[in-house]
Chains A and B, each alone.
Chain A
Amino acid sequence: MPITYTSGEQVEVYRFSIPVTVGVPLLALFLQAFIPLRVPRFAVYFDLPLLVTIFFAMARRSPIAGLFTGAIIGLAQDMLGHNPIGIYGIAKTVVGYGASSLGVKLDVENAGARLLVTLGFYLVHSAVYFTVARGMVNMTQHWSWLNGIVAGFANAVLGVILYFVLDKFKQRT
């Protein structure tokens, strides 16, 4: 039975089947944990759970659904590491809320808009993570604009390709 999310707005709202709703984030988490064993720099430049969060949030166009999607994916990502649980959770909650709020107001279906949105939200995600990790958990963090922008573009390019694939799973309400 498909799960339906609507925002009540006049824009097109999509829903996803349960296997896609559960399976895609799990697959993203799994790949994020596995690929760095073979490609060590992958974890530095790419964040697949973030891309999945942005995609679902924008497609559902519901801020509440978006923020919960981000919170659940982020908390799951936190659990795989050894740092306190909640740092990714907070960052992805903000991203999920922001992406779905933006999805309500803007047309985020074309590749150019998706590229910019992903780049922007990657920077937002990094900034929130940096603030929480440094301010609350007292982790040593170094902010680098160059690394952030390079990684943001890398994620944006990968995101556009990934969103194109995930579009196949969209179901109209």
Chain B
Amino acid sequence: MESVLGRYRNLTILVGVLFLQVLGLAMQVKRNSNQAQDTRLIRIWAVGAISPFERGLVWIQSSSSNLWHNYFYLRGVRAENRQLKEQIEHMRLEQVRLSEDAAQARRLQTLLAFKEQYIAKTIAAQVIGSSGSDLSRVVYIDKGEDAGIRRDMAVITADGIVGKVLTVYPSVSQVLLINDQSSGVGAILEKSRLQGVLRGTANGEVVLERVMSDEQVPAGETLLTSGGDQIFPKGLPVGTVAKVSNGKDLFLSINVKPAANLSKLEEVLVLVEKQERQATAEDVRVRAADILAQRLPSVPEKPVDAQAAASATPGSPAANTGAKPQAQAKTEGKPPNGTPGKAQSTATVKPSGTGTGAIASAPGQSSKPATATTIAKKTATPVEGATGAASKTSIVEVKPKPKSAEPAQSTSQTPPSENSPQ
């Protein structure tokens, strides 16, 4: 026996070493199946040994790059600045439109008592390393437990979702990317509202599973998070549908192009705090259309008797249809007949040269610019004294009139100046 072992000493040691590793591997596999996800000390040591070098190299690289780009290579900055300013103007207009949509959505959500999830706090982190293997699609970021990062937190970029925090070390975290085959994200198609599970494949692609094959999914449709995984809040961009084909078991095979560039990640945001609150429309006082009206260039003013326009009864034909070309009022809810309920009348006042204003436009009908705005909420009584002084923005809120005929209460919020920088 000894001679046999001596003769095949090398082979025996090889078998022994392999056996030990197989044994260790088998123990890990068994552990994973029992959902025990404790981090092994050996992993902490390995990451601790490698990450300082990665962090240092990234720092040197970014510092030298910043030095070059921020101090030496400033060619074309002026032109770029001009372009960006133009882009900002366009985006402001777009923001106004979206704000209006959002306000409307909030009102509807309030009616339905929806609960919303908000991204309350994020931490920016830099990607400093990867697993170095195409079979383990993870990256390391330079923020860990010390920075408040915990396991299963969502990791995103401005473009879309990236993955989730898998393992947290004191100053480094391991992030599992959405294209790893062990990841799973609840996703929903933006237009068709079909829900599925987003998974990675062995070759690094991302597919949407669990969509029935009798559904129509066009290529190019946007995919959002559904919030069903309890990791990503609902509505974050995931990617776009790249290819649709028939899969197995009556499900479609949908290839997805991730919105975030997973192969070239540099900076990411870790979502450390989510808030859930019931949607309210109360905080939306100033309407987006009014902001837009303020920002648009003004046209020659046309004196109109604001007093007459403001005293027009909401719900009356004059207010709803716009008896005057520039005087319209929008009323929501029940007509002002004194019955309980929420009736809202909104009026935008166009200033006159003499300091008086007239109702100039209703939401979504802002054809004329205005420099003074009055928003009035009322149920029973018309707004009295809604004469907006020039260069003023006012919000006039009228409480429901009680059955005993009390005078309407008005609150007015007046910013310092309309011409303040926007």
Contacts and interface: CB of A to CB of B under 8 A. Distances in A.
Interface in B233-278: 263-266
Interface in B107-140: 127-136, 138-140
Nearest to A42: B132
A159 interface: no
A56 to B, nearest CB: 16
B17 A29 contact: no
Interface in A61-84: 63-64, 67-68, 71, 75-77, 79-84
A77 B50 CA distance: 11
B10 A97 contact: yes
Contacts of A40: 263-264
B141 to A, nearest CB: 11
Interface in B30-77: 32, 40, 42-43, 45-47, 49-50, 53-54, 57
Contact of B10 (A64, A77, A81, A89): A64
Given A33-B129, A37-B129, A90-B21, A79 B28 contact: no
Given A40-B264, A136-B25, A82 B50 contact: no
Contacts of B176: 82
A82 B167 contact: yes
Interface residues of A, number: 47
B284 interface: no
A32 B180 CA distance: 18
Given A84-B32, A85-B24, A141-B135, 15 more contacts: A29-B50, A29-B132, A37-B129, A37-B139, A44-B134, A77-B133, A80-B46, A80-B50, A80-B129, A81-B136, A82-B166, A84-B28, A85-B25, A94-B14, A133-B135
Interface of B: 9-10, 13-14, 17-18, 21-22, 24-26, 28-29, 32, 40, 42-43, 45-47, 49-50, 53-54, 57, 127-136, 138-140, 166-167, 174, 176, 180-182, 201-203, 263-266
21 contacts: A29-B132, A30-B53, A40-B264, A63-B10, A63-B14, A71-B17, A79-B42, A79-B47, A81-B131, A81-B138, A82-B167, A88-B133, A90-B21, A93-B17, A94-B14, A94-B18, A97-B10, A136-B29, A141-B135, A142-B202, A142-B203
